[in-house]
C-alpha cells in the first residue's frame, strides 16, 4: 500500500498551499474521514442489525461513532489553531 502522502499528493499540495501545512493536512484528513463515513453509511444500508433491521449492524455503528468522534476532535484542533494566542 502506498503512503497517504503519495495517494493524496495533489489534494495535500492544494490544501497545504491554501491553508499552510498543518491546517492543510487537517483539512485533507477531515475530507478522508468524511469519505469513510459515507462509505460506512452506504454499507450500513445492506448490512443491518439482526435486532433492528432499520439500523446498521452494531460494528458499523461503532465505526461510524469512532469516525465521527475523530472528525470532531480534528475540527476542534482546527478551531484552536484559528483562535488568537491571547484568547487561550
Within a domain: 65? yes
* Alpha carbon separation from 37 to 42, 43, 44, 63 (Å, rounded): 9, 10, 10, 8
Q: What is the pLDDT of residue 87?
A: 59
* Beta bridge partner(s), residue 2: none
Helix (H) or strand (E) holding 67: helix 58-82
pLDDT digits (tens, 9 = 90+) for 42-76: 988 888 888 888 888 889 999 999 999 999 999 99
29: nearest Cα among 75, 63, 65:
75
Within a domain: 1? no
Within a domain: 17? yes
pLDDT digits (tens, 9 = 90+) for 21-50: 999 999 999 999 999 999 998 988 888 888
Q: What percent of the chain has pLDDT over 70?
A: 97
Question: How many domains, the chain?
Answer: 1
Within a domain: 45? yes
Within a domain: 6? no
Within a domain: 4? no
pTM value? 0.83
Residue 17: all three cell numbers together: 498551499
Q: What is the pLDDT of residue 88?
A: 53
**What's the domain range around 47?**
12-78
Amino acid at each position: 500500500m502506498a503512503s497517504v502522502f503519495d495517494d493524496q499528493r495533489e489534494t495535500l499540495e492544494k490544501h497545504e498551499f491554501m491553508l499552510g501545512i498543518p491546517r492543510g493536512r487537517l483539512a485533507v484528513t477531515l475530507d478522508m474521514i468524511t469519505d469513510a463515513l459515507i462509505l460506512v453509511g452506504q454499507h450500513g444500508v445492506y448490512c443491518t442489525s439482526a435486532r433492528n433491521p432499520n439500523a446498521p449492524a452494531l460494528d458499523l455503528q461503532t465505526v461510524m461513532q469512532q469516525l465521527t468522534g475523530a472528525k470532531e476532535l480534528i475540527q476542534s484542533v482546527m478551531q484552536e489553531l484559528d483562535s488568537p494566542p491571547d484568547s487561550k
